[in-house]
Amino acid sequence: MRVLGIESSCDETAAAVVTEDGTVLADVVASQIAVHAPYGGVVPELASRAHVQNIVPVLEAALEQSGGLGAIDAVAVTRGPGLVGALLVGLSTAKAIAFARDLPLVGVDHLVGHLFAVYLGREGEPKRTPELPYIALLVSGGHTAIYEVTAPGEASILGQTRDDAAGEAFDKVAKLLGLGYPGGPVVDRLAAGGDPAAVDLPAPMASRRTLDFSFSGLKTAVARHVKQHGVPEDPADLCAAFQRRVVRVLVEKSVHACKTRKIPRLVLGGGVAANRGLRARAQKRCDDLGIELYVPPVASCTDNAAMIAYAGALRLAGGERDDLGLAAYSRSPDLKRGKMAKAR
Ligand code: KG4
Ligand code: ZN
């Protein structure tokens, strides 16, 4: 079975074709970074307009690479969480294709897509997949949370950020330091040449009593440092100190979740999983504690439609499908209750 996936929840317009075992036949992503960079963050109205412009060329490219629309058996689309105007572009397109070709349509929760992206198989990349259950740390520009992933398409949330997402904190700190947008990759690069002990920053909500996170205090501490001392000519030490604080709390809470849930498998996902400091620290702590660490290729961690197609295939395999009345949501309804039961 071949599933066409469509993703347009934030600032990436993406289409992909994936088989039911996760083999990626095509995976096309049009990034809107250049559109939003002058504003230092995603501007919802501009995102919607860029999706409208990009969706057809992106779809055509994905279909051309994978044998055309005639080879598609089902359509999966991100229904949320995300920017509603952005989501509607993908949803309307997916509905139009499903209606015109009489194909099954499934809606996918974007976070569920991230949680199962580790099962995607990409040409030239070794595929290592964890047994279920596993603990997943999902860290992106919009989300930071720890999940227990229990069955295909099923997970429950163990902790999440109470304010900024980790990627958002990277982006805001980079903005304070005049480093451009998105900030994560540049802070990561600068941090590699800095001394984290040279600047004293507070540990952000490091208590193990909760698996929740908070990054706004750390961001404020960086702002205070910049106000007192000015923007450093060489921001490497400040980047290193900030990154170490973020990375340590992410890794410590994730391995703590593995220990308390007695699940010795940890999977990373989301754009911040590209961070070299995070990957290195997670590997070291997991080696120390006998936890198997799974870090998918960067293309599977950042926003993409292949993960949406695969999560859609899981729903279809479970006998589920939606009809053309499928609606968007800006927040996962089950997440609000502190539980995400099924990929709906
Ligand atoms: O998953 P993603 O592509 O989009 C969503 O937010 O859903 O993640 C983008 C986020 C941005 O905040 C970006 O700054 C961050 O991931 N990011 C990084 C790195 N690469 C991307 N953060 C830290 N280190 C990186 N190397
Ligand atoms: Zn995402």
Give the pLDDT confidence of 58-75 residue by residue, as tens digits: 999 999 999 999 999 999
Q: Which pLDDT band holds residue 344 (cuts at 50, 70, 90)? A: very low
In a domain, 261, yes or no: yes
Checking if the pLDDT of 335 tops 60, the result is no
State the Cα torsion 242-244-245-248 to the nearest 10°: 160
Residues 157 and 283 reside in one and the same domain: yes
Total domains present in the chain? 2
Checking if the pLDDT of 225 tops 80, the result is yes
Residues 146 and 289 reside in one and the same domain: yes
Average pLDDT over residues 314-325: 93
Residues 184 and 314 reside in one and the same domain: no
In a domain, 129, yes or no: no
In a domain, 127, yes or no: no
Residues 8 and 118 reside in one and the same domain: yes
Q: Which of 140, 181, 245, 268 to mutate to test the pocket of ligand 1 (most atoms within 8 A of CB)?
A: 140
Please indicate whether residue 13, judged by its CB atom, sits closer than 6 Å to ligand 1.
no
Per-residue pLDDT of 293-312, as tens digits, reads 999 999 999 999 999 999 99
Residues 69 and 217 reside in one and the same domain: no
Distances 28 to 31, 95, 114 between C-alpha atoms, Å: 10, 19, 16
Residue 112 or 337, more confident = 112
Nearest CA to ligand 1 atom 14: 184
Residues 15 and 152 reside in one and the same domain: no
In a domain, 128, yes or no: no
Residues 236 and 334 reside in one and the same domain: no
Residues 64 and 148 reside in one and the same domain: no
Residues 74 and 145 reside in one and the same domain: no
Q: Which pLDDT band holds residue 208 (cuts at 50, 70, 90)? A: confident
Q: Which of 27, 78, 138, 170 to mutate to test the pocket of ligand 1 (most atoms within 8 A of CB)?
A: 170
Q: Are 49 and 297 in contact (CB under 8 A)?
A: no
Residues 167 and 213 reside in one and the same domain: yes
Residues 252 and 149 reside in one and the same domain: yes
Closest by alpha carbon to 274, among 240, 293, 299, 311? 299
pLDDT of residue 94: 98
Kindly report the CATH number assigned to the domain that includes residue 180. Answer: 3.30.420.40
In a domain, 313, yes or no: yes
What residues sit around ligand 2, an ion, with C-beta below 5 angstroms?
140, 303
Pairing mode, strands 292-294 and 134-139? unpaired
Per-residue pLDDT of 163-204, as tens digits, reads 999 999 999 999 999 999 899 999 999 999 999 999 999 999
Please indicate whether residue 194, judged by its CB atom, sits closer than 6 Å to ligand 1.
no
Q: What is the pLDDT of the chain when averaged over all its residues?
A: 94
In a domain, 225, yes or no: yes
pLDDT of residue 337: 42
pLDDT of residue 342: 43
pLDDT of residue 334: 58
Residues 197 and 270 reside in one and the same domain: yes
pLDDT of residue 341: 45
Supply the range of the domain harboring residue 159: 134-296
Q: How far is the CA of 8 from the centre of ligand 2 (A)?
A: 10
In a domain, 335, yes or no: yes
